Amino acid sequence: MSSFMRTNKTDNYNFIEQNRFNHNAVVQPLLTDLYQITMAYAYWKSGKTDNVAVFDLFFRTNPFHGEFTIFAGLEECLKFLDNFRYSDSDMEYLKQTLDANIEDEFYEYLRNLTAKDITLYAIEEGSVAFPRVPIIKIEGPLIIAQLLETTLLTLVNYASLMATNSARYRMVAGKNIQLLEFGLRRAQGPDGGLSASKYAYIGGFDGTSNVLAGKLFNIPVKGTHAHAYITSFSGISDLKTRVLRHKQTGITGDLLETALKHRNNLSNVLDISTEESSEGELAAMVSFAIAFPDVFMALVDTYDVKRSGLLNFCAVALALNDLGYRAVGIRIDSGDLAYLSCLARETFETIAERFKIPWFNQLTIVASNDINEDTILSLNEQGHKIDCFGIGTHLVTCQRQPALGCVYKLVEINEQARIKLSQDVEKVTMPGSKNAYRLYSTDGHALIDLLQKVTESPPEVGQKVLCRHPFQESKRAYVIPSRVEPLYKVYWKDGRICQDLPTLEQVREKVQRSLKTVRNDHKRTLNPTPYKVAVSDDLYNFIHDLWLQNAPIGELS
């Protein structure tokens, strides 16, 4: 499909490469909750500086009533670790703000603190992830590991939610529909808007209207125009220029005059009275076509799609054709999008045949206006002729579920496993440092994710492995994997990023590859089948022994 109103893609600044290790200035050690720093002092004061901790970062339920999540935000977490250093002004601020009794040596300690003793394990960015399987595991000195919590969570939660949301839109739209993110104006602030554009692209959108996101992340930027442009013209007299040079011959033509001629003719062909169509709209379209004759795209719903917008658009497109240009298409932003898109396509087909202009059939129809996953599903059911959806509010605010709910839990300290009990079994943490594996079937589908104690040897291809439900004793299964994928890689160790990080484009491809390994019944929108997450027999027994040791025995009286 032709790309409309697009910036010059050959001007490839490759900002991703240049900015890989540049840092989002907002992401800094003070972007945290106060209690992390007060805990750090209390840990320090109680002599826990040398304690070594393991924290798991994971979510408990998939968003949007789905059964999968896309993990995103890893690169930003790594940049954060790389830049973790309190500045002099941070220290001053903390000294003024925290309890006056805090000893000066603690500030000295903080001033010299970096993430060099931390090891970060993670699953690949863009991978499908499932509840309770840690997506990031942090090992290292307790104080710094604790201080990372809030920032890592804020970097992963929204990124993963957005990537998942956009991947879901991509799934319902199918691969042949163009998806554009139009959400900046409705996003949760400027930083939310930028993140939304970035992670929408990772999740499968084709472009964004957000120009800064285009510049920073090398995402294609695209767009049409607003109703304001159309309504700023009240009639033909508003047109200051009406001429355009022929694309090939360079001879000047009067675009307005030609468009008016075509409009009269079309009014008969399409059986629409010119009386009902807006002159202001025609003038606006002519002027936009003069400005962008090669990529002319027009908003057709300002007054009435059927009686005005379509007629005016087709008249201007035919006039452009006379001058050697091909129009790109229309945007519909209100009304019944199924009906209006079909009407527009029929009109284009009639004109293509009548005037022997085959490309008129292929004009792009963009639809916008409060689109969400359900609207797309419903439009698919009804039948529509939309080529491209422009989606803002529902996408970027994740209106259906505005937070993912990733948590960061201590699972081990000084090689002693820790468990957090809860009345709610689902909320009991999985103690100890663990490894995670994805086991695949012969047909290449992911069967189950298996958590083991790090001391266990990994499952082997062709060997039967007992997979147990972490909490329900009777739920277990033997699995003979055809492939075993260790889910964790070390991404940060000894003070540096220790993997070649993928580009945004590669992460975007990874999302689609990873989703392909997930069975369709896990991905369907209505009542999807839960994907199984299991623990090894050893880990099962370990969890339950520790649970018993830690659960107080009540007394009935």
Ligand X SMILES: O=C(O)c1cccnc1
Ligand Y SMILES: O=P(O)(O)OC[C@H]1O[C@H](OP(=O)(O)OP(=O)(O)O)[C@H](O)[C@@H]1O
Ligand Z SMILES: Nc1ncnc2c1ncn2[C@@H]1O[C@H](COP(=O)(O)OP(=O)(O)OP(=O)(O)O)[C@@H](O)[C@H]1O
Q: Using CB under 6 A, list all residues that contact ligand X.
A: 182, 209, 223-224, 331, 368, 390, 392
Tokens in use for 152? 């890592």
Cβ at position 228, least distance to ligand Z in Å: 15
Burial (CB < 10 A; 0-12, 13-18, 19+), residue 352, is: middle
Query: Of 224 and 308, which CB lies nearer to ligand X in the complex structure?
Result: 224
Query: Of 148 and 332, which CB lies nearer to ligand Z in the complex structure?
Result: 332
**Residue 503 interacting with ligand Z (CB under 6 A):** no
Query: Of 67 and 181, which CB lies nearer to ligand X in the complex structure?
Result: 181
Strands 388-391 and 364-367: parallel
HEC secondary structure over 80-134: HHHCCCCCHHHHHHHHHHCCCCCCHHHHHHHHCCCCCCCEEEECCCCCEECCCCC
Cβ at position 512, least distance to ligand Y in Å: 23
Query: Of 37 and 395, which CB lies nearer to ligand Y in the complex structure?
Result: 395
Indicate which of ligand X, ligand Y, ligand Z, none lies near residue 224 (CB less than 5 to 8 Å, by partner kind): ligand X
Q: Helix count (H) and strand count (E) of the chain? A: 19, 23
Cβ at position 397, least distance to ligand X in Å: 14
CA 556 to chain centroid, in Å, comes to 52
Query: Of 324 and 335, which CB lies nearer to ligand Z in the complex structure?
Result: 335
Query: Of 368 and 514, which CB lies nearer to ligand X in the complex structure?
Result: 368
For ligand Z, the binding residue among 90, 254, 322, 336 (CB under 6 A) is: 336
Query: Of 186 and 400, which CB lies nearer to ligand Y in the complex structure?
Result: 186
Cβ at position 176, least distance to ligand X in Å: 20
CA distance 482 to 458: 14
**Residue 332 interacting with ligand Z (CB under 6 A):** no
- Name the residue with the smallest CB distance to ligand X: 223
Could you tell me which of 11, 171, 155 has the C-alpha nearest to residue 82? 155
Cβ at position 397, least distance to ligand Y in Å: 9
Indicate which of ligand X, ligand Z, ligand Y, none lies near residue 223 (CB less than 5 to 8 Å, by partner kind): ligand X
Cβ atoms of 324 and 251 closer than 8 Å: no
Query: Of 372 and 514, which CB lies nearer to ligand Z in the complex structure?
Result: 372
The stretch among 275-283, 328-336, 402-410, 511-519 that binds ligand Z (CB under 6 A) is: 328-336
Cβ atoms of 71 and 135 closer than 8 Å: yes
- Interface mask toward ligand Z for 358-397; x: CB under 6 A: -----------xxx---x--xx--x---------------
Cβ at position 313, least distance to ligand X in Å: 15
Cβ at position 391, least distance to ligand X in Å: 9
Indicate which of ligand Z, ligand X, ligand Y, none lies near residue 338 (CB less than 5 to 8 Å, by partner kind): ligand Z
CA distance 141 to 414: 9
For ligand Z, the binding residue among 2, 36, 334, 512 (CB under 6 A) is: 334
Query: Of 232 and 361, which CB lies nearer to ligand Y in the complex structure?
Result: 232
Indicate which of ligand X, ligand Y, ligand Z, none lies near residue 209 (CB less than 5 to 8 Å, by partner kind): ligand X
CA distance 245 to 250: 5
- Name the residue with the smallest CB distance to ligand Y: 392
Cβ at position 162, least distance to ligand Z in Å: 20
**Residue 338 interacting with ligand Z (CB under 6 A):** yes
Query: Of 7 and 28, which CB lies nearer to ligand X in the complex structure?
Result: 7
Could you tell me which of 38, 54, 57, 35 has the C-alpha nearest to residue 46? 38
Q: What angle do CA 454, 126, 410 make, to 5 degrees?
A: 35
Q: Which amino acid is at 538?
A: D
Indicate which of ligand Z, ligand Y, ligand X, none lies near residue 429 (CB less than 5 to 8 Å, by partner kind): none
CA distance 369 to 334: 6
Indicate which of ligand X, ligand Z, ligand Y, none lies near residue 337 (CB less than 5 to 8 Å, by partner kind): ligand Z
CA distance 45 to 462: 52
Q: Please work out the total of residues on this chain that contact ligand Z, with binding judged by CB under 6 A.
A: 12
Query: Of 331 and 384, which CB lies nearer to ligand X in the complex structure?
Result: 331
Cβ at position 226, least distance to ligand X in Å: 7
Tokens in use for 97? 């703000």
Tokens in use for 71? 């993990």
HEC secondary structure over 368-432: CCCCCHHHHHHHHHHCCCCCEEEECHHHHCCCCCCCCCCEEEEEEECCEECCCCCCCHHHCCCCC
Cβ at position 188, least distance to ligand Z in Å: 20
Chain residues in the site for ligand Y (CB under 6 A): 182, 185-186, 226-228, 333, 368-371, 390-394
Helix (H) / strand (E) element for 167: namely: helix 149-173
Cβ at position 391, least distance to ligand Z in Å: 10
Tokens in use for 451? 């958590």
Indicate which of ligand X, ligand Y, ligand Z, none lies near residue 375 (CB less than 5 to 8 Å, by partner kind): ligand Z
Indicate which of ligand X, ligand Z, ligand Y, none lies near residue 393 (CB less than 5 to 8 Å, by partner kind): ligand Y
Query: Of 194 and 337, which CB lies nearer to ligand Z in the complex structure?
Result: 337
For ligand Z, the binding residue among 311, 317, 337, 543 (CB under 6 A) is: 337
What is the sign, positive or negative, of the torsion defined by CA atoms of 181, 182, 188, 194?
positive
HEC secondary structure over 313-372: HHHHHHHHHHCCCCCCEEEECCCCHHHHHHHHHHHHHHHHHHCCCHHHHHCEEEECCCCC
Indicate which of ligand X, ligand Z, ligand Y, none lies near residue 378 (CB less than 5 to 8 Å, by partner kind): ligand Z
Helix (H) / strand (E) element for 137: namely: strand 136-141
Radius of gyration of the chain (CA): 29
Q: For binding to ligand Z (CB under 6 A), which residues are involved?
A: 334-338, 369-371, 375, 378-379, 382
